[in-house]
Structure 1
Amino acid sequence: MSTGQESVAGQLGALLELPGVGESVDRARAACTELRWHQALRRRIPEAAAESRVRGAAASALLEGAEVAGSQGSLAVLRDIMRGAGTWPDTLGPVERTAKAVVQATAATEFVDAVALRSPAQVLARLHVAAGADLLPAEQVGRPRVPGEDCREMAELGPAPDAGEVADRMGQVAMLLRALDSGASSLLVAALVHAEIVTVRPFVRGNFIVARALERAVVRAGGLDPTGVAVVEAGHSAKAGADYRGALTAYGQGGVDGVRLWLQHCAEGIETACAEGTRIADAVLAGRITTGAPPASVGRPGADGRGLPKSLREE
C-alpha cells in the first residue's frame, strides 16, 4: 500500500475501536453470512438479487419523497418497470422524475464490481448519469460541481462546500474505495463513502440517490454481501428515514460521536437489510417471486462510455 492507503487503513481500524462500533459490525457480518447460506441462494441468486434491487429502489424512492403510487402501490409499480412489464408515463412529473432517477441508479449497481471500484471517478460518474439524466441539464450530469454551481440538498448542514473542497474530499472517497483491495471493512467503507457524498454534495442534484446506490454496490462488490440480496436501502428507510437523516446530520456536523452514530446506524441497517433479504429468499424459494428481463432503459448506464464526460470515459 502507499503511505496514503496505509493511513486510511489505520484510520478505519481505529473506527472499529469506537464504543459499540466493532460489535455492531460483527453482528452485521453475521447477518450477511446467515443470508448467504439461505437455501434459495444456492441456485437462484439472480432472481433474489433482482428483487432486492426492486425493493431497494422502492425504499430509496420513499426517502426521496417519490412514492409514485402511495406506500402500498409503489413497490408493485417499480417492480413492473424494473422487470420490463411496465413503462414510465410519457410526461414525467417531479415525483416520477425522481423515482425514475432512483430506479436507474439502483439498477446500475448490478454492474459495479470490485474491478470497477478501482476507478472511483468513473463509478461515481456512471451512477450520476443514471440518477441525473432526468433531473438535471445534460451539461451537469455525470460530473462534480464546478465553481459557480451550488447544491441545495442537505441544507441543514449549511452551504455546500466549494468546488475546490469537493475535489479534495472526493480524493478521500477514492482512497476509501481503493482500501477495499487491502482488506478494509467493506461495511465501514460503504458507510463512510455514503456519508461523504451526502455531506460534500459533489453534484448539483442527486447526491442522496448516488450515495445510497454506491453503498449498495460496495456492500456487494466489497464482499460483505456478495449475493446482492440484502436490501441495503431498507436499513435507512425505517421511520420514513428519520433516524437516517439524523445520523447523517450528526456525521456532517463533525466530531467522533457523529461518526460513531452514523457507523452504528449503518451496521444496524445491514441487519435490517439482511432480514429483508431473507424474506426475499423465502419468497423465491416458495415460488412467489418471478422476474423478467429488465428493459433497455433500466440497463447499464454509460457502459459504452456514452453519457459520460469525455475525461471519464474508459479507452
Structure 2
Amino acid sequence: MSLEPLLLLPGVLDAVERARFACEELRWHEAYRRRWREVRAEAGLRSARESAALEGARVPLSVVRALATGGTATRHTVPSGLLDDEPVVTGALRATVVVEGLMPTLGARGAVALPPFGQLLARVHAAATGGWLPPEHVGRLRVDLPPADLTGLGPALGGSELAARVDLLGATVASAPAATPALVVAAVVHAELLTLRPFRAGNGVVARAVARLLLTSRGLDPTGSVIEARALNPYLGAAAGFATGTSAGVAAWIVACSAAVVEGADRARAVAEGVLAGALPAD
C-alpha cells in the first residue's frame, strides 16, 4: 500500500505544509536549547491526559502528575467518580513512557530504528492495558472476540483477516520513503488502528501513542512535545469518515490531524514558555 497518492487528495498538501510550519516554528523556541527534556516530559503528561479523556477518563492534570510520580489517587484527593478512571489514566501514562523511550533525542542525526510494527503495538498495548484488561488479551491481537471499545466505528475484522491488515499496515510504514510526510504516515496509522481495533480494548490509547511517536521519529515534531487535544465527537466522526475509504473521508481525516498538530504546537509553546519562566500553564 502506497501513501504517496494521498498527497493528491484535496487539501492534503496544504495540511502537510501547515503542520510543518507550526512544528518548525516550535523547534526554535528558546526552551529547546537546553531544557527540551523538561518540555517533552511535561508534554507527555498532558498528552496522556488528553488521550485518557477520549476514553472517558477525565481527570485534573494534578492527578495525572501525581500518578506519574508514583502517587496513588485516593478518595480524599480525587473528586467523586474519578478514582475509577485511575487505571485508564495510568495506562495512558505508561504508553507515553514507552513511546518517549523510543523517541530520538532532539538534534539526533540519522533515522531512528523502531521495533517491528507488531512488536511496537504489543509493547504499547501491554503498557496501556496491563493491570485492568484480562491478561489473555494484553498485547495480543483479537481472534474471535469483537472489540469492546470504539463501537461507533462499525464492524471490525478479526482472526487472520485482522492479522493480515495489521501486517500490511506495518509493511506500509516500513516501506514509506523518508520523503513521505510524517503527518500522512502518522495520520494513516492512527486512523487504521482506530478502524481495525486490533485489540480487545485500549485501541484508542495505542493509536494516539503510536501516532505521536511517528510524528517525532519521522521528523515532523523533533521536539516530541506537540500536545494534541481532540473533541470526542468530531474525532470519532473524522475517523469514521476515514473508515469509509472515500477520498473525501481520508482527506478530511488528514486535514483534521494537521489542525490538531497546529493547535498542539501552540500548546507545546505555552509549556516551553512555562518551563523557562518556572510557572507551567495550568491547562
The answer (yes or no) to whether the contact 2:74–2:83 under 8 Å persists in 1 is: no
State the identity as a percent: 41
In structure 2, distance between residues paired with 1:89 and 1:107: 23
The answer (yes or no) to whether the contact 1:60–1:102 under 8 Å persists in 2 is: yes
- TM (norm. structure 1) is 0.80
In structure 2, distance between residues paired with 1:183 and 1:34: 20
Q: Unpaired runs of 5+ in structure 1?
A: 1-7, 69-73, 291-315
1:76 is matched by which residue type in structure 2? Answer: S
Q: Which residue of 1 aligns with 2:102?
A: 112
Structure 2 residue corresponding to 1:55, chosen from 41, 46, 54: 46
Give 1:268-283 correspondences, 5 Å limit.
268-283=259-274
Structure 1 residue corresponding to 2:142, chosen from 121, 145, 151: 145
Q: Does 1:156 align with 2:156?
A: no
Q: Which residue of 2 aligns with 1:71?
A: none
1:87 is matched by which residue type in structure 2? Answer: T
2:145 is paired with a residue whose SS is coil
In structure 2, distance between residues paired with 1:158 and 1:85: 38
Q: Which residue of 2 aligns with 1:76?
A: 62
Shift of 1:167: 1.1
Shift of 1:160: 1.7
Shift of 1:88: 4.3
1:16 is paired with a residue whose SS is helix
Deviations 1:258-312 (A, max 9, x none): 101101000111101101011111101111249xxxxxxxxxxxxxxxxxxxxxx
In structure 1, distance between residues paired with 2:64 and 2:16: 31
The answer (yes or no) to whether the contact 1:61–1:102 under 8 Å persists in 2 is: yes
Shift of 1:85: 5.9
Give 1:186-225 correspondences, 5 Å limit.
186-225=182-221
Cα RMSD over matched residues?
2.0
Q: Which residue of 1 aligns with 2:72?
A: 87
Task: Provide closer, same or farther for how the CA distance between residues 156 and 174 of structure 1 changes in structure 2, counting only shifts above 3 A.
Answer: same
In structure 2, distance between residues paired with 1:228 and 1:260: 25
- TM (norm. structure 2) is 0.89
Structure 2 residue corresponding to 1:67, chosen from 58, 61, 65: 58
In structure 1, distance between residues paired with 2:224 and 2:163: 30
The answer (yes or no) to whether the contact 1:180–1:222 under 8 Å persists in 2 is: no
Q: Which residue of 1 aligns with 2:129?
A: 132
Q: Unpaired runs of 5+ in structure 2?
A: 76-81, 104-110
